[in-house]
């Protein structure tokens, strides 16, 4: 309810510069009863010391190992709920936020009975006039789609409304919802875990809200590099298949066939690294190998 505690959960992994900038912006949030929880996900640099020095008042939890996006956030969520939070806001560390980013999310949940989670309008950090996310949906082909992606923000998505998919970049959930549907699924480790959570929330009878009054700016990576693109593809392919196995098993065959076609398309286009990664992701799914992908 209005005025009840909200916990902001930020996961850090060797990214103290982005995390400190995110925390700097969070000091301007106009929601009074908030707690900032930074989860350091086994950083191998001096992130803990840097974050503590810059923001000594935040709650900083150390996992001691890289638990992935889901595992790191779950550590923060558990701690926040144990500390009495009525809301948890998952926020990427590579973002900055506008002052009403949190209060607008809480207000939307409270004024829409049946709403369980809410997400922000998200623009590019270096191009704040260009949209990255303005609501989303699951597409017939399998992946999720960001509405408004790469469109100039001219006010075309200013209506608070139900949506089909909320990105984990900025996702507010109520304690009630988490108690009912559970935490993020850690088998994914990285990618598709928020889609799985969204799906379970909707299946439990709650609505998902896109809240344009909550504005977040995201430092979307322009180029991840060839080696990371390959690893990223392994996670994306494996986890897309896992998502459908868990949530819509009748479509697993269709999604598997799509992944196979994608793999052959990469091969024919001589994108050998991506072809190898696609087929590797498919093999890991068949073998039931989930969690972190080892080098």
Residue spans of the domains in the chain: they are 6-218, 226-287
Task: Report how far apart, in Å, the C-alpha atoms of 287 and of each of 51, 93, 242, 276 are.
Answer: 40, 33, 11, 16
Query: Using an 8 Å Cβ cutoff, are 19 and 48 in contact?
Result: no
Closest CA to 80 of 70, 90, 94, 93: 90
Q: What is the mean pLDDT of residues 124-135?
A: 97
> Predicted confidence band at 228 (pLDDT cuts at 50, 70, 90)?
low
Say what the alpha-carbon torsion angle 49, 16, 75, 95 is, to the nearest 10 degrees. 150
Quote the pLDDT of residue 220.
85
Phi first, then psi: give them for residue 87, nearest 5 degrees: -135, 145
pLDDT digits (tens, 9 = 90+) for 13-62: 999 999 999 999 999 999 999 999 999 999 999 999 999 999 999 999 99
> Predicted confidence band at 3 (pLDDT cuts at 50, 70, 90)?
low
> Predicted confidence band at 223 (pLDDT cuts at 50, 70, 90)?
very low
Quote the pLDDT of residue 224.
41
Percent of the chain having pLDDT more than 70?
96
Q: What is this structure's pTM?
A: 0.94
> Predicted confidence band at 225 (pLDDT cuts at 50, 70, 90)?
very low
Percent of the chain having pLDDT more than 90?
92
CATH number of 6-218: 3.90.550.60
pLDDT digits (tens, 9 = 90+) for 59-118: 999 999 999 999 999 999 999 999 999 999 999 999 999 999 999 999 999 999 999 999
pLDDT at residue 264 is higher than 80: yes
- The two three-digit tokens of residue 87, written as one number: 């809301």
């Amino acid at each position: 309810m209005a005025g009840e505690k909200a916990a902001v959960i930020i996961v850090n992994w060797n990214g103290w510069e982005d995390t400190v900038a995110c925390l700097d912006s969070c000091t301007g949030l106009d929601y009074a009863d908030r707690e900032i929880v930074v989860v350091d996900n086994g950083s191998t640099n001096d992130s803990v010391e840097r974050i503590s020095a810059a923001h000594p008042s935040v709650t900083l939890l150390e996992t001691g190992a890289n638990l992935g996006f889901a595992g790191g956030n779950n550590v923060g969520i558990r701690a926040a709920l144990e500390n009495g939070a009525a809301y948890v806001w998952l926020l990427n560390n590579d973002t900055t936020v506008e002052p009403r980013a949190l209060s607008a999310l809480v207000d939307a949940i409270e004024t829409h009975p049946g709403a369980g989670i809410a997400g922000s309008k998200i623009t590019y950090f270096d191009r704040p006039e260009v949209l990255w996310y303005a609501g989303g949906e699951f597409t017939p082909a399998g992946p999720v789609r960001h509405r408004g992606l790469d469109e100039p923000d001219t006010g075309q998505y200013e209506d608070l409304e139900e949506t089909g998919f909320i990105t984990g970049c900025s996702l507010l959930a109520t304690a009630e919802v988490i108690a009912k549907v559970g935490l993020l699924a850690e088998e994914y480790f990285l990618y598709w875990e928020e889609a799985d959570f969204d799906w379970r929330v909707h299946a439990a009878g709650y609505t998902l809200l896109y809240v344009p009054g909550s504005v977040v700016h995201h430092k979307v990576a322009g180029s991840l590099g060839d080696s990371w693109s390959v690893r990223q593809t392994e996670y994306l392919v494996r986890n897309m298949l896992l998502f459908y196995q868990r949530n819509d098993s009748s479509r697993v065959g269709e999604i598997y066939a799509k992944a196979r076609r994608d793999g052959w398309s990469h091969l024919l286009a001589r994108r050998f690294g991506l072809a190898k990664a696609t087929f590797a992701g498919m093999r890991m799914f068949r073998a039931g190998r989930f969690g972190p992908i080892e080098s």
